[in-house]
Structure 1
């Protein structure tokens, strides 16, 4: 379904005229195609967790092809995402959406920026940096990674200066798969260059580039809201354990259409962190059983997605320890 709808949507993009008067049509095309193609990203995500097919070679091929088509280094991402699941909400060893502490240099910079811009303008800037720039910045420089991996890190190389942390996000054993991931991206870039020469650069930028931005916005938006809110704690090494970290994720109401297109990735995420090997089509039943057995442990926020996104963008800046179960919580107000 995801691949078929994506091919259909991209095909329709080749028919839209390259005229300024067609701008509204291009905008609609970008939103629809990017939203549909994000389902392919989720399927590759399933492959990365060994939740797609009993044969690991089938999973590797499907995941590698789909993520390469979307300019994601599949095997490198598979490694970093496994680290994320193994250290969820760990301030030092966590991976992706790890918040800065209020007493760190980066934390003081973020808090100062929010104070200078004001809540509204900071929220707009936060939405832009996360949804538009966040994914490439994470892949290239490891933005929002845990403290122990050093800064910067990269999904494309382990050469200096991307190997300076107390822990290695990509140990030597990952180098061969990292090279294979890079070759997949180079092949996709070569296809895009050929298409630009054969058709036109403008056609490729619009047909491929616009949905690409929307796909990135979806995947960052999902993960941001899954792991970030004013009442979600992060833990330092002395207070963190795997179960505590895995349960600090949140399910949200994306509605039947998005749950269909994106295979429920945003509405069954607590269960996904308890057992990422459960396929998406069984995650609904597994989530229901988890809520039935442990209703007090499964987080669910019924806030509409657009309102939750604005709350997170405007209020979740830096964290400090409050003394509640050792957790570090976001400061809802900028430091004075």
Structure 2
């Protein structure tokens, strides 16, 4: 995998810069202002496409179940985009009116099976602890250092290897997170009634939708349309989250050395996707900019890269390169990069 460029590793084609992560964050403040007209257009186009494809898939069941499934799988990507809009609502960056933004997020949370208030709180915690090796567990993919892993017992190593396997991370985890864990305010069950209201209110609306579909046409639409759409959206969502922070030249530190701005900037990737996928994922691949300033709307992230060519070259990972990231599991504090289990084993052998 090509080495990702950090701020102090830019090629000579760019003007020399002394900018720190904090300097970059300050320079991006002007991009924080949402555009209401653009926001409504983005929401309308995405929601209309999602509903239309859902209806088409439902109608296609009578033609052939595989046609319905194929359309539902495609529609999963539009649900990813709706989740990205919900994500921006949680940051207060999607639209100017915060009250309206909150209600958009709550409504989309029913479609994405994600209670808005609970997820917003979880995600805020992710932003405040990203890359901190001592404060993992809420909204993070747990990452061990090489030394921590080598000190584990055989059983503990086995459990960690199973947890970090693609089957668990991208097979079981998405279904567990969106179907099961999201049904309760996991991690915040004693932090106020509002989070329970968010979870139970979302659950009630999801239940009403499922019951209505069953009443109208039985189990088939749920099995052939609803389920494939959710599986694709949840799997792609988890994959994107993984790639955004689990790449070779990422940034992890223990609490005493951890800096929130450095972790946000250097610990978040720039996932360069083909234009269609970039649109469907709402520019969330420009994640290093998002973590620098999470109040920048997704529809302005490309504008940031256009105006700041240096940012466009930092922490870049292509679609092809990203699949190699699934083999990286352990943070080497000496080389300051993620390693595979075999690379970590080779280090131990050569020591």
Normalising by structure 2, report the TM-score: 0.74
* Correspondence for 2:29: none
* Distance of aligned partners of 1:253 and 1:230 in 2 relative to their CA distance in 1, 3 Å threshold: same
Give the superposition deviation at 1:81: 0.3
SS of corresponding position for 2:228: helix
What is aligned with 2:287?
269
Q: Counterparts of 2:152 and 2:95 in 1: how far apart (Å)? A: 42
Structure 1 gaps, min length 5: 116-121, 143-153, 159-168
In the alignment, which of 107, 115, 127 is matched to residue 166 of structure 2? Answer: 127
Q: How many corresponding residue pairs?
A: 296
- For residues 113 and 219 of structure 1, what CA distance do their matches in structure 2 show? 24
Q: CA RMSD in A?
A: 3.0
Q: Against the structure 1 CA distance between its residues 230 and 112, is the aligned structure 2 distance closer, same or farther, given a 3 Å change threshold? A: farther
1:208 match: secondary structure? helix
CA distance in 2, matches of 1:3, 1:14: 16
Report 1:98-117 matches (<5 A): 98-102=142-146, 103=148, 111-112=157-158
Partner residue, 1:156: 184
CA 1:195–1:141 in 2, change beyond 3 Å: closer, same or farther? closer
Higher gyration radius (CA): 2
Note the alpha carbon deviations across 1:141-176, whole angstroms, 9 max, x for none. Answer: 88xxxxxxxxxxx77146xxxxxxxxxx53855541
Q: What does residue range 303-314 of structure 1 map to in structure 2 within 5 Å? A: 303=318, 305-309=319-323, 311-313=324-326
- The structural deviation recorded for 1:131 is 2.3
| Separation of aligned partners in 2, 1:107 and 1:182 | 40
The runs of 5 or more residues in structure 2 that have no matched partner are: 1-44
Relative contact order higher in (CA < 8 Å, ≥ 6 apart): 2
Q: Which residue of 2 aligns with 1:330?
A: 339
Instruction: Determine if contact 1:271/1:290 at 8 Å carries over to the other structure.
Output: no
TM-score, normalized by length of structure 1?
A: 0.77
What do residues 117-144 of structure 1 show as CA deviations (whole Å, max 9, x unaligned)?
xxxxx89x933322232234346888xx
Check conservation: 2:69, 2:225, Cα contact below 8 A: no
Match of 1:31 in 2: 73
For 2:269, which of 250, 274, 285 is the aligned residue? 250
Q: Secondary structure at the match of 1:234?
A: coil
Q: How far does the alpha carbon of each residue in 1:266-288 deviate from its partner, in whole angstroms, 9 at most, with x for none?
A: 1x111100001011121112234
3-state SS of paired residue (1:197): helix
Distance 2:213 2:189 in 1: 36
Q: 1:286 to 1:63 in 2, by over 3 A?
A: same
C-alpha distance in 1 between matches for 2:77 and 2:133: 31
The offset of 1:47, in angstroms, is: 0.3
- Going by fraction, where is helix more abundant, 1 or 2? 2
CA offset digits 1:43-85 (Å, max 9, x no partner): 1111011011111110111001101222112111100100111
Aligned to 1:204: 222
- 2:203 is aligned to 185
SS of match in other structure, 1:15: helix
In 2, the alpha carbon distance for the partners of 1:207 and 1:227 equals 31
